[in-house]
């Protein structure tokens, strides 16, 4: 059995890297895949949409099951499913078979993405939870970048089908390791499984709701940006696809790792400072001021601090994304893109801390599952095909302009303030 917390963190982080590698290899080979299978940009965007349909429709099911029992078996099952489906993508002979394979990748990833952060939160020492989550989520940009880099390199050498075979193989081995995890003890939900009832309870919580709405808006922008960036570079700057994947992947791994690491440390420090400042607060219970009377003040302090970090990241990312898409050549595009990636990934760890700390402990898996459903249903389910549809009738540069607006909107939503009326009442 694997019992040491840091070893479990390392295993789950490695699997998260494979998770995102499998997810983004399709973006690396998309232009060549479109050429061979004669897919329009709209249908190319639908490959992301069907992945997300499988992803978010099954997330609440996995979350509800996990709140009532063991998680490692569900995680192992998910890893095996997504790996087999990635390999199956390489055998696709047409639109239908490819769409079905990508949908099953989403089903497999739903289990892992929903449950792994809850195990890490259980294992992390107090005061370091955002930093531990940052270690886990730093695999997001690294895995995404490897999807571009490995996918592009394998496609160049052996064709786009081989890229899916290389991406999917390691997960089949890793799935068995998940069964060896010694799960930490936790409080289990004793209520009868009720997905809709749990969703209603969670969305009634103001801080959780704000976190999810802002996350949905940001995901709309991130999803289309990550999906179409290699082709945008390929078309807008007449750069070979292999080089476009390599440079964008390198920027993603470095900028994303910096942003994720800084965001985790920054969120922990802001949360600790907020908890110290609360001792001198004369306005009464902090939970009441933010519409969360059933949450402890330390949890509210942490959630608000993390939301501020998320907001700053998105508000800085918006003008940087705009400058990138307006760049007349590849060099300034990559420079602005690098700093935009840093700002975007500042929220990777803090937003997940928000989702975990703004709800009761026995509902955390359901909270992450519902968030996954919401951010994709109202976020990147639509943005890749929407950008692709606009790009079928207008320059892709014009199609990408909707994304900086979405970044700005998410930052505004995440900038939470206490309720003035409640503060006034308490100080009278």
Q: Which two tokens stand for residue 223?
A: 């999803």
Give the C-alpha separation, 235 to 410, whole Å: 29
Q: Write down the pLDDT at residue 344.
A: 95
Amino acid 201: pLDDT: 83
Looking at the domain assignment, is residue 73 inside a domain? yes
Indicate whether 19 belongs to any domain.
yes
Residue 201 belongs to some domain of the structure: yes
User: What average pLDDT does range 132-140 have in this prediction?
Assistant: 86
What is this structure's pTM?
0.74
Mapping DSSP to helix (H, G, I), strand (E, B) and coil, where does residue 157 land? Answer: helix
| Mean pLDDT for the stretch of residues 242-267 | 88
The alpha carbon dihedral of 99, 214, 206, 361 has a sign of: positive
What is the average pLDDT value for the chain, to the nearest integer? 85
Cα 260 from Cα 345, distance rounded (Å) = 5
Distance (Å, rounded) from C-alpha 129 to C-alpha 135?
10
Is there a domain that residue 370 lies in? yes
Alpha-carbon gap, residue 18 to 143, rounded angstroms: 6
Residue 280 confidence class, pLDDT cut points 50, 70, 90: low
Which tokens belong to 402? 């909707």
pLDDT at 283: 53
In a domain, 239, yes or no: yes
Name which of 382, 377, 307 is nearest 349 in CA terms: 307
Task: Provide the pLDDT for residue 422.
Answer: 43
pLDDT tens for 43-75 read: 888 888 888 888 878 888 887 777 777 888 888
Range of the domain at 111: 5-181+193-427
Sorting pLDDT into bands at 50, 70 and 90, what band is 211?
Answer: very high
pLDDT, tens digit (0-9, with 9 covering 90-100), for 365-395: 788 888 888 888 898 888 888 998 998 899 8
Decide: helix, strand or coil at residue 2: strand
Give pLDDT, residue 423. 40
Q: pLDDT > 90: what percent of the chain?
A: 30
Top mean pLDDT of 139-143, 177-181, 320-324, 396-400 is at 320-324
Higher-pLDDT residue of 355, 417: 355
Q: What are phi and psi of 217, to 5 degrees?
A: -65, -45
Mean pLDDT of 220-240: 89
Whether 188 is in a domain gets the answer: no
CATH number of the domain that 347 lies in? 1.20.1250.20
In-domain check, residue 187: no
Give the pLDDT score at 421.
47
Cα 26 to its chain centre, rounded Å, is: 17
Q: How many domains does the chain have?
A: 1
d(Cα 251, Cα 159) in Å, to the nearest integer? 24
The answer as to whether 186 is a domain residue is no
For 60-112, give the DSSP string: HHHHHHHTTS-SHHHHHHHHHHHHHHHHHHTT--SHHHHHHHHHHHHHHHHHH
Q: Please state, as a whole number, how many other Cβ atoms lie within 10 Å of the Cβ of residue 350.
A: 33
């Amino acid at each position: 059995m694997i019992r040491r917390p840091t070893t479990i963190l390392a295993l789950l982080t490695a699997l998260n890297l494979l998770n995102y590698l499998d997810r983004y290899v399709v973006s690396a080979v998309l232009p060549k895949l479109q050429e061979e299978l004669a897919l329009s940009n709209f249908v190319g965007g639908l490959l992301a949409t069907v992945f997300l349909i499988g992803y978010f429709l099954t997330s609440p099911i996995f979350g509800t099951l996990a709140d009532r029992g063991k998680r490692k078996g569900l995680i192992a099952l998910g890893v095996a499913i997504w790996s087999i489906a990635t390999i199956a993508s390489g055998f696709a002979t047409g639109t239908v078979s490819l769409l079905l394979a990508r949908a099953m990748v989403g089903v497999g990833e739903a289990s892992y993405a929903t449950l792994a952060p809850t195990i890490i939160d259980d294992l992390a020492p107090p005061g370091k939870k955002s930093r531990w989550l940052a270690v886990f989520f730093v695999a997001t940009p690294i895995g995404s970048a490897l999807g571009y880099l490995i996918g592009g390199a394998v496609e160049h050498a052996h064709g786009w089908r081989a890229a899916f075979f290389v991406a999917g193989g390691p997960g089949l081995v890793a799935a068995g390791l998940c069964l060896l995890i010694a799960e930490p003890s936790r409080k289990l939900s004793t209520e009868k499984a009720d997905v809709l009832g749990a969703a209603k309870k969670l969305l009634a919580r103001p801080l959780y709701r704000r976190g999810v709405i802002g996350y949905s808006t940001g995901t709309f922008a991130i999803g289309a940006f990550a999906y179409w960036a290699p082709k945008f570079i390929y078309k807008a700057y007449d750069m070979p696809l292999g080089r476009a994947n390599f440079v964008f992947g390198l920027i993603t791994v470095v900028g994303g790792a910096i942003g994720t690491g800084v965001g985790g440390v920054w969120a922990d420090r802001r949360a600790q400072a907020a908890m110290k400042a609360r001792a001198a607060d004369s306005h009464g219970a902090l939970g009441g001021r933010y519409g969360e009377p059933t949450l402890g003040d330390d949890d509210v302090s942490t959630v608000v601090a993390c939301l501020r970090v998320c907001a700053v990241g998105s508000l800085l990312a918006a003008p940087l994304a705009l400058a990138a898409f307006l760049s007349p050549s590849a060099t300034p595009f990559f420079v602005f893109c690098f700093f935009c990636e840093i700002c975007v990934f500042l929220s990777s760890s803090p937003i997940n801390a928000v989702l975990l700390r703004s709800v009761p402990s026995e509902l955390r898996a359901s909270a992450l599952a519902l968030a996954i459903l919401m951010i994709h249903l109202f976020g990147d389910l639509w943005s890749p095909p929407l950008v692709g549809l606009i790009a079928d009738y207008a320059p892709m540069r014009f199609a990408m302009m909707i994304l900086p607006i979405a970044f700005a909107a998410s930052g505004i939503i995440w900038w939470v303030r206490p309720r003035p009326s409640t503060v006034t009442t308490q100080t009278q």
